[in-house]
Structure 1
Amino acid sequence: MPARPAQRVEMIPVGRITVVNPRVRNQRNFREIVDNIAKIGLKKPITVTRRAEAGGPFYDLVCGQGRLEAYIELGQSEVPALVVTADPEDSLIASLVENCARRQHRAIDLLQDIRGMEERGYSATEIARKTGLTREYVNGVARLIEKGEQRLLRSVESGVIPLSVAVDIAECDDHEVQAALSAAYEKGLLKGRKLIQARKIIETRKRRGKGLATIDRKERQRVSADSLVKAYQADADRKRSLIQRSQATRDRLLFIVEAIRRLAGDESFMALLEDEDLSTLPANVPMRLDSSAGTAS
């Protein structure tokens, strides 16, 4: 049954409200909410629905977790709330839709909400209608979540990689990813700085995996201590390889410069070039020859 709007605001005890779709809050943003409410009060009541349970009334939160938690943080026993009539299914969907509609949110939260609606049996068309997103976007997001592509999902939500390109990359083997990036460049979907950012994301995805799993501080310290030597060795090997390639390139250039100098000293060869009207050289070449000659002497 669709939710019916409330007619008035009621003061509800915070201890009687259950958050049915809890979110992990960014502490900095949460502190801003708390400070704002402490200074100027609550500008918009939360929304709840009554829950049939003995000893009530009890309520399920529909919208406004941050505001509710801010009231609790401020030591308030009651919070202003709009009480709507809705069954648990409609309440959950309303909560999910509010999460999708927030201007400031974690990308993975929004995308996981879409996945949650899909798991509850809603089709892509229904999810698109309820959230205001396109069906193609919902399908693409569901596909990326299904494949565990959290890193690509974050890049999609931040606007670095278009959803269609992210889906193409997710469907590719590692050796096909560069071809997908090239195709996106040719189509004008990735250019300039975004193309550079996309390549960095793909490289990170290759080294660290598709997910964005977090670890606690102790685990992070343990992993850092265990992997420090390996990371140093890998970095040293990479720099050693770079030096070797640079030296090889320098040796080839020196060989080319010496070859050109010897040919320039061959009168028969120079006469042949003059006959073919090829006796002139780019200005930088004679300068390089003179510089090398000075160094050799």
Structure 2
Amino acid sequence: MTARSTAGDLRMIPIDRIDVLNPRDRNEDVFAEIVKNIGAIGLKKPITVTPRPGSDGAERYLLVCGEGRMKALRKLGETRVPALVVQVDDEGAFIMGLAENVARRMYRPLELLAGITQLKVKGYSPAVIAQKTGLTLPYVTDILTLIDQGEERLLVAVERGRVPLTIAIDISRAGNSDKTVQAALQEAYETGQLRGRQLMNARRLVQSRQRLGRSINRHASPQDADVTTSSLVRAYQKEVKRQQLMVRRASFAQQRLLFVTGALRQLFAEENFVTLLRAEGLDALPKYLADRIGPHGSTG
């Protein structure tokens, strides 16, 4: 199904000739750290690309892995990037990218699930998926079992480390029977598979699954058992947008706090303002606020 990749050669590739098949949104702090590290010590590992014919007749390249490194170099003003050029088709590029992210534990839960689902849809057996991604066969088999059962909520909980995969399988096998699910949790507790926070997470997960259904789509009914690649991707995109909105809100709140802090610092530098506060008995500030404002924050 997938063309075998040939040994690649290292080249300096113009960044503007590289196309990203599946661009990812990245945490700004993490990306800033990547830029800082590459700026300080250089690029330790080249990106990987595969050639494709360009519409202008010149060769272009499809990014296989290394989007963060490529963007960091562009941020640093570089126009060319060291790249390992391999000969693979689009399917091979997808598998290579997924395998590298799994190996480096850089994937997000829904990305991994969507990747495994796409490989299954393409006709790969669990054994081949395990071989190509570097995951264990039991892990892939259990993940595919949950995918077949439409257990999207359980899948995400497993990938986020909230519950063990074996417990997710037990919950799935119990179906919608509350008595059977509770018995599975009790057995997991007694055998030491669930302790402390994980037990609490499992109980919350079971409640959410019973109330909202197996899909993480809140509008889905509990009977919805089919999970497709498109539904996983849509859920992933929705989560990305939610996190981006949270980042924007946090940035806006930080800007407002900086403005307020700066304004207070200027006011406390005015002797007349401080005298007025002292006269009204309002010259003391909470310690944490006074520390942020600086030496002018204390009028005592």
Q: Shorter-chain-normalised TM-score: which range?
A: 0.5 to 0.7
Letter in 2 for 1:35: K
What is the percentage of aligned positions where both structures have the same residue?
48
Letter in 2 for 1:116: Q
Question: Residue 99 of structure 1 corresponds to which residue in structure 2?
Answer: 101
Map 1:30-179 → 2, pairs under 5 A: 30-54=31-55, 55-171=57-173, 172-175=175-178, 176-179=180-183
Q: CA 1:43 to 1:158, structure 2 compared with 1: closer, same or farther past 3 Å?
A: same
The secondary structure found in structure 2 opposite 1:61 is: strand
The answer to whether the Cα contact below 8 Å between 2:17 and 2:60 also exists between their aligned partners in 1 is yes
Q: C-alpha distance in 2, partners of 1:144/1:75?
A: 45
Q: Which runs of 5+ in 2 are unaligned?
A: 218-234, 247-300
Question: Residue 211 of structure 1 corresponds to which residue in structure 2?
Answer: 216
The secondary structure found in structure 2 opposite 1:80 is: strand
In the TM superposition, residue 53 of structure 1 has moved relative to its aligned partner by: 4.0
Q: CA 1:146 to 1:19, structure 2 compared with 1: closer, same or farther past 3 Å?
A: farther
Q: CA 1:104 to 1:50, structure 2 compared with 1: closer, same or farther past 3 Å?
A: closer
**Cα offsets for 1:136-193 (capped at 9, x unmatched):** 2112212333444343223322433221220221341052321221232344322344
In the TM superposition, residue 56 of structure 1 has moved relative to its aligned partner by: 1.8
Question: Residue 14 of structure 2 corresponds to which residue in structure 1?
Answer: 13
The secondary structure found in structure 2 opposite 1:43 is: coil
Question: Residue 188 of structure 1 corresponds to which residue in structure 2?
Answer: 192
Q: CA 1:78 to 1:149, structure 2 compared with 1: closer, same or farther past 3 Å?
A: same
The answer to whether the Cα contact below 8 Å between 2:176 and 2:210 also exists between their aligned partners in 1 is no
RMSD: 2.7
In the TM superposition, residue 207 of structure 1 has moved relative to its aligned partner by: 4.5
TM-score (norm 1): 0.64
The secondary structure found in structure 2 opposite 1:109 is: helix
Q: Which runs of 5+ in 1 are unaligned?
A: 222-297
Q: C-alpha distance in 2, partners of 1:110/1:191?
A: 26
User: In terms of Rg, which structure is larger?
Assistant: 1
Q: C-alpha distance in 2, partners of 1:154/1:78?
A: 38
TM-score (norm 2): 0.64
Q: CA 1:12 to 1:35, structure 2 compared with 1: closer, same or farther past 3 Å?
A: same
Q: C-alpha distance in 2, partners of 1:12/1:45?
A: 11
Q: CA 1:150 to 1:34, structure 2 compared with 1: closer, same or farther past 3 Å?
A: farther
Q: C-alpha distance in 1, partners of 2:26/2:207?
A: 30
The answer to whether the Cα contact below 8 Å between 2:48 and 2:85 also exists between their aligned partners in 1 is yes
